[in-house]
Amino acid sequence: MSKKKGNVLIIDDDEDVLITAKMILRNQFEQVQVESSPKQLEKIIKSKSPDIIILDMNFKTGATNGNEGLFWLRKIKELDPEVQVIMNTAYGDIQLAVECMKDGAIDFLVKPWEKEKLLSTVRNVFDLKESKKEISRLEGTSKVLENDIRSAKGDLLGDSPAMKNVFSIIEKVAKTDANVLILGANGTGKELVARAVHSASKRNKKPFVKVDLGSITESLFESELFGHKKGAFTDAKEDRIGRFEMAKGGTLFLDEIGNIPLNLQVKLLSALQNRSISRVGDNKIIPIDIRLISATNKPVHDLAADELFREDLLYRINTVEISVPDLSERKEDIDLLVNHYLKFYGKKYDKPNVKIKKETLSKLKKYSWPGNVRELQHAVERAVIMSSTNDLGPEDFLIRATKASNPTHSNTLKVE
């Protein structure tokens, strides 16, 4: 049986107890530490981050009232509320046990204990702690995914040669765990490509977690990605898991990765190289299991050449690159996209019979679409909402003028 990846600390003034407990537990847990005095507790908790502490109730010779144990129990919970404390005493006092539970102890052992009793107690407490951590992670992930799902719109569509090439790369890379870098202008559908890779991968039953790096301030970068401990900074009122932990077993999508300042690129590179993170305000190392997909609209290779983007980070994130074409490079897809959005928004706005005139579609294909698929989507949505008939004409599309036209917005379709 493999050892549990836990850290157990035993504090007792009886040397025999320490030796026996360590011998029993070291075959079950990766780290077992013993201390004869609780005076180093603060230092140990900050440096070692124990999962479980087995704490003696009395340290002074002749003491039996348990006051010392209660004092250090409260101290432990003050330093790290998530540490699970098992009280250990030679004096089985039910009232004392109740008081310990009220102050945060998870269980109570009476010495002398049998080997199986010690093992089962510590194992059960550790499993409970891990379950609580997983519930917390899932709750945090659920909130993020709900927001992401609400914001994620559309499907990745296209029959053009340019899009068939994109689909071919997606099919090949999705079967692997290779890191993917998606390049393309705003509105081309980079997030949809990322979601398509995840959906076709072996990780598709696990979370797809998005991070919009363009909207995260430098001060919150580490907290957002790696999480933080309560009290790590002024507004850290509770423990919080980061996006790396949320994406456990699944895909982490770093959107707008080209916007990260150089000083933060180092922190991201370190996490990816070591496959581990630490929450802000905590020294505990947390292994990460994610598939990384990144995206940017910036010329990241040029940025690397100008030393504005770390070359080693670029190599790390772009095992495979996918370039998403502008809509102007695949105008043969406009029919498919328009009909898709007509059906979607016709249903949404209770206009199921809405159609588009052939001459309107022809003119849509002549427009340059600087905002790409996103601009087309919004244009169709507005046309469905504002049209007084079921046949959409050029007058129903509010599309910004091209440079050759009046630079102000027009109520009719403007083309090159």
> Is residue 64 located within the same domain as residue 158?
no
402 has pLDDT over 50: no
* Mean pLDDT (whole number) for 123-134: 82
> Is residue 205 located within the same domain as residue 258?
yes
- How confident is residue 150, by pLDDT bands cut at 50, 70 and 90? very low
Distance CA 329, CA 161 (A): 10
pLDDT at 296: 97
271 has pLDDT over 90: yes
321 has pLDDT over 90: yes
- How confident is residue 138, by pLDDT bands cut at 50, 70 and 90? low
* Mean pLDDT (whole number) for 244-248: 92
> Is residue 69 located within the same domain as residue 100?
yes
Q: Are 197 and 171 a contacting pair, CB within 8 Å?
A: no
In a domain, 61, yes or no: yes
Looking at per-residue pLDDT, the higher value among 129 and 380 belongs to: 380
Distance CA 52, CA 49 (A): 9
> Is residue 75 located within the same domain as residue 212?
no
In a domain, 147, yes or no: no
> Is residue 247 located within the same domain as residue 296?
yes
The residue among 325, 344, 362 that closes a domain is: 325
In a domain, 415, yes or no: no
- How confident is residue 400, by pLDDT bands cut at 50, 70 and 90? low
> Is residue 81 located within the same domain as residue 225?
no
> Is residue 262 located within the same domain as residue 361?
no
In a domain, 91, yes or no: yes
Distance CA 347, CA 240 (A): 39
The full 3-state SS of 35-90, as one line of letters, equals: ECCHHHHHHHHHHHCCCEEEEECCCCCCCCCCHHHHHHHHHHHHHCCCCEEEEEEC
416 has pLDDT over 70: no
Average pLDDT, the chain: 87
pLDDT at 147: 53
User: Which residues face 227 on adjacent strands?
Assistant: 241
Distance CA 316, CA 273 (A): 8
The residue among 94, 129, 164 that closes a domain is: 129
CATH of the domain at 276: 3.40.50.300
> Is residue 194 located within the same domain as residue 341?
no
Burial (CB < 10 A; 0-12, 13-18, 19+), residue 69, is buried
The residue among 73, 95, 129 that closes a domain is: 129
pLDDT at 294: 98
Q: Are 363 and 338 a contacting pair, CB within 8 Å?
A: no
61 has pLDDT over 80: no
- How confident is residue 5, by pLDDT bands cut at 50, 70 and 90? confident
In a domain, 11, yes or no: yes
Distance CA 34, CA 40 (A): 11
Distance CA 277, CA 122 (A): 26
Share of the chain above pLDDT 90, in %: 56
Phi then psi dihedrals of residue 43, to 5 deg: -65, -40
179 has pLDDT over 60: yes
Which domain range does residue 169 map to? Answer: 152-325
Asked which of 38-52, 209-223, 393-407 is least confident by mean pLDDT, the reply is 393-407
303 has pLDDT over 80: yes
Q: How many domains does the chain have?
A: 3
* Mean pLDDT (whole number) for 29-37: 91
In a domain, 63, yes or no: yes
pLDDT at 6: 87
62 sits in the region (left: phi over 0; alpha: psi -120 to 50; else beta) called left
The letter for the amino acid at 356 is: I
Distance CA 197, CA 320 (A): 12
DSSP-derived 3-state class of residue 117:
helix
pLDDT at 92: 61
pLDDT at 404: 38
pLDDT at 234: 77
CATH of the domain at 53: 3.40.50.2300
